[in-house]
């Protein structure tokens, strides 16, 4: 049976988590962890640079929430929203790399620590409020566990 690619999509909905102008920046990074926790191959965000007349001065759109139509600004200027999402993508890729190393490791200790990280990621799946402080706490703990895993798999 052929493996199917599985992703999720954010656009004008859901309101949280997302990468709108008014979204807490942590939501952008959190999305990469959520994708990994759910076993997705990635995520799709509908627009990168669908600018209005002057997005630097006014990010509002007639139909969609402010910032939904773009992640970067004209002139290749980045945004905090884009950089946080990029960080989440880098975290997602690091999780995949370390997970592969864990799967090829004979160390019971490494596998035990990996399970601890995976158990923590269940909180990402179960999260329904998307409160900024909760997301930041989840992310900080996950980053700490990932850093510990990185040291372990690279020292064995």
- Give the pLDDT of the chain (156 residues) as one tens digit per residue: 888 999 999 998 889 999 999 999 999 999 999 999 999 999 999 899 999 999 999 999 999 999 999 999 999 899 999 999 999 999 999 999 999 999 999 999 999 999 999 999 999 988 888 999 999 999 999 999 999 999 999 886
Residue pair 10/48 in contact (Cβ under 8 Å)? The answer is: no
Task: Please report the sign of the dihedral spanned by the C-alpha atoms of residue 36, residue 130, residue 85, residue 2.
Answer: positive
Residue pair 25/81 in contact (Cβ under 8 Å)? The answer is: yes
119 falls within a domain? yes
100 falls within a domain? yes
Write the DSSP symbol of residue 38: T
129 falls within a domain? yes
Element (H, E) at 109: helix 108-126
1 falls within a domain? no
Distance between CA atoms of residues 13 and 49, nearest Å = 18
Give how many domains the chain has, as a whole number: 1
121 falls within a domain? yes
- Looking at residue 117, its pLDDT comes to 97
Domain hosting 29: range is: 7-155
Write the DSSP symbol of residue 63: S
- Looking at residue 2, its pLDDT comes to 85
41 falls within a domain? yes
134 falls within a domain? yes
Distance between CA atoms of residues 131 and 128, nearest Å = 9
123 falls within a domain? yes
Q: CA angle 90-88-116, nearest 5°?
A: 90
């Amino acid at each position: 049976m052929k493996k199917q690619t599985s992703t999720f999509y954010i656009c004008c909905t859901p309101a949280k988590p997302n990468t709108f102008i008014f979204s807490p920046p942590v939501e952008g990074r959190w999305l990469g962890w959520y994708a990994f926790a759910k076993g997705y191959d990635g995520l799709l965000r509908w627009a990168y640079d669908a600018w209005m007349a002057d997005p630097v001065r006014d990010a509002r759109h007639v139909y969609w929430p402010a910032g939904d139509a773009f992640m970067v600004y004209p002139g290749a200027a980045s945004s905090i929203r884009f950089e946080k999402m990029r960080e989440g993508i880098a975290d997602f890729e690091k999780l995949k790399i370390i997970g592969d190393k864990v799967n090829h490791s004979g160390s019971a200790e490494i596998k035990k620590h990996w399970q601890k990280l995976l158990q923590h990621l269940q909180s990402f799946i179960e999260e329904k409020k998307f409160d900024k402080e909760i997301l930041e706490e989840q992310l900080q703990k996950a980053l700490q566990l990932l850093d510990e895993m990185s040291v372990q798999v690279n020292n064995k």
